[in-house]
């Protein structure tokens, strides 16, 4: 290390422009480029990550380059200035032999510890000040920033020492008993015989060595993390996966295990991470997907249309993806399908045979336009079992349904029709709020997630049937890949012959009176339907 404290090195003078440039050029250029990219990303409303290769590889590399650069600078400076306080002699990094303090390439445990502390200081500042987009990353990676900064400080110190020991000439002046700052210039009373070569060759001076060292250390720091976290591109249509802020839950399409919350991708779909002996409902296939509606409604296999046929249309994605999506219209003043004007739509679909399934996941994406008025709330599609019409006050002794509801200001919940007499009391205590009404359904987990406006949102429900006579069924809900509801004591059925049937696609405002009505003409859009079962 270039230790010059306490008169151990014959150097002196003020910092020059060349020294400042040598120390700061690499980090300053990377910082300026990162600022430009973040500003552009903010203006274009796209994702960027402070340190998150899933949502911004170039941003991440630039951050790590300038973070690594300044962590290296600070770490090496602390090692140089504080390392001389070590009681023992330093060791030359290339030979591990003892050398005089101040020798280029000399290291000590105290100095290495100081380099880590210097890197940590830079990391603490970065953890507070780095830009972060909460829409793209769930949390700021404080620990990661601190660890990488400490590593940067250590790496910078080691690189500087290695370059100093090999490409910088260190000469010991026996007369002054110090490392000669400039061995080519003898001071008064000194002779050439007083100078002794210790290490290195005369290839780089201190400024050149700093420039090369920091560029190498910064690039190495950025490349290390880039290779540690393989860059991927988010599938914006799916909304989750290895390239996105969130991994995908059970039942979502996947290419690799990294796409899945469980870390397990089987047959192109995220599974629970455990093997299953369940027989598929259809030989060789346990999934159904409808990612694009270019062929219209045919793939749904609608077995019964209840109302609102004219309110549903296939249109282009309002978010601009170019895909065909399902649009549902709610005219002003509409509420409850039995009222007029009639809003929303309702139909029963059986796109695939679910007769033998014990566990079914239904996933789709939903888009509420910006400015959407939720009023008091309304219904959204879910699964049904046993038979149709398991809603509207049905006692549900031989059926069940699992629709969603949106409430005031977009609060979300799952809205269950099940036999009230067979349920445990804790079903009605699922947080943050659950309200059970044996006659008109059970509002479960109200407010556990929120419906967004102006962007697509993924919803997935995973329903596990109970053993008849036991309350051991399960309901799970995922919003944008994050589990928001999980309750494992549901009684879905009282008999073995009550099983899954299909999708109850029902959506309307209401509520049973006009206070639930939509105050204006509104639309909601749906896409990305899939079923997965065991």
Local mean pLDDT, 10-residue blocks, the chain (534 residues): 43 55 69 68 45 52 71 73 74 81 76 82 76 49 73 75 72 65 55 64 56 51 45 55 65 73 69 38 62 85 96 94 92 92 97 94 95 97 95 87 96 96 94 85 94 94 96 94 92 96 97 93 95 89
Q: Which domains does the chain have, with CATH numbers?
A: 5-228 (no CATH), 303-533 (2.60.120.200)
Q: Report yes or no: 236 and 230 within 8 Å, Cβ to Cβ.
A: no
pLDDT for the residue 274: 36
Q: Report yes or no: 146 and 120 within 8 Å, Cβ to Cβ.
A: yes
pTM above 0.75, yes or no: no
Q: How far is it, in rounded angstroms, from Cα 490 to Cα 355?
A: 20
* Alpha helices for 306-449 (secondary structure H): none
**310 to each of 174, 283, 324, how far by Cα in Å?**
98, 36, 17
pLDDT for the residue 486: 94
Q: How far is it, in rounded angstroms, from Cα 160 to Cα 163?
A: 5
């Amino acid at each position: 290390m270039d230790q010059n404290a306490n008169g151990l090195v014959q150097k002196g003078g003020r910092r020059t422009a060349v020294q400042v440039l040598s120390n700061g050029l690499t980090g300053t250029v990377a910082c300026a480029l990162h600022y430009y990219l973040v500003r552009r990303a903010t203006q274009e409303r796209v994702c960027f990550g402070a340190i998150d290769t899933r949502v911004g590889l170039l941003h991440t590399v630039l951050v790590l380059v300038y973070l690594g650069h300044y962590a290296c600078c600070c770490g090496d400076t602390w090692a140089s200035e504080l390392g001389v306080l070590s009681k023992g002699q330093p060791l030359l990094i290339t030979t591990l032999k003892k050398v005089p303090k101040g020798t280029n390439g000399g290291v000590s445990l105290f100095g290495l510890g100081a380099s880590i502390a210097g890197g940590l200081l830079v990391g603490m500042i970065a953890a507070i000040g780095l830009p972060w987009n909460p829409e793209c990353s769930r949390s700021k990676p404080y620990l990661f920033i601190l660890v990488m900064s400490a590593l940067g400080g250590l790496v910078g110190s080691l690189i500087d020492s290695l370059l100093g020991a090999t490409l910088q000439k260190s000469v010991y002046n026996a007369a002054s008993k110090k490392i000669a700052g400039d061995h080519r210039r003898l001071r008064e009373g000194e002779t050439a015989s007083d100078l002794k070569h210790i290490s290195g060759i005369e290839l780089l001076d201190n400024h050149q060595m700093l420039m090369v060292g920091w560029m190498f250390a910064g690039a190495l720091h950025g490349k290390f993390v880039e290779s540690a976290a393989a860059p991927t591109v988010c599938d914006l249509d799916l909304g989750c996966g290895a390239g996105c802020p969130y991994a995908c839950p059970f039942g979502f399409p996947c290419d690799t295990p990294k796409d899945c919350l469980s870390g397990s991708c089987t047959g192109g779909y995220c599974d629970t991470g455990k093997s299953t002996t369940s027989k598929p409902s259809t030989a060789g296939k346990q999934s159904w997907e409808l990612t694009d509606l270019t062929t219209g409604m045919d793939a749904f296999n609608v077995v019964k249309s209840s109302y609102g046929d004219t309110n549903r249309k296939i249109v282009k994605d309002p978010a601009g993806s170019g895909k065909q999506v399902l649009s549902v219209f709610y005219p002003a003043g509409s509420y409850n399908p039995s009222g007029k004007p009639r809003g929303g739509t309702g139909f029963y679909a059986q796109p695939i045979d679910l007769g033998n399934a014990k566990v079914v996941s239904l996933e789709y994406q939903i888009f509420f336009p910006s400015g959407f008025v939720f009023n008091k709330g309304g219904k959204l599609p879910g699964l049904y079992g046993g038979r149709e019409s398991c809603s509207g006050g049905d006692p549900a002794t031989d059926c069940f349904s699992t629709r969603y509801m949106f409430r005031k200001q977009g609060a979300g919940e799952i809205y269950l029709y099940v036999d009230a007499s067979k349920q445990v009391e804790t079903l009605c205590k699922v947080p943050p709020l659950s309200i059970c009404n044996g006659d008109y359904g059970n509002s479960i987990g109200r407010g556990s997630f929120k419906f967004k406006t102006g962007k697509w949102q993924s919803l997935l429900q995973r329903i596990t049937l109970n053993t008849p006579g036991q309350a051991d069924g399960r309901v799970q809900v995922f919003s944008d890949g994050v589990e928001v509801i999980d309750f494992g004591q549901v009684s879905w059925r009282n008999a073995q012959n009550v099983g899954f049937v299909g999708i109850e696609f029902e959506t309307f405002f209401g509520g049973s009176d006009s206070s639930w009505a939509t105050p204006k003409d509104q639309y909601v859009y749906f896409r990305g339907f899939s079923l997965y079962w065991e």
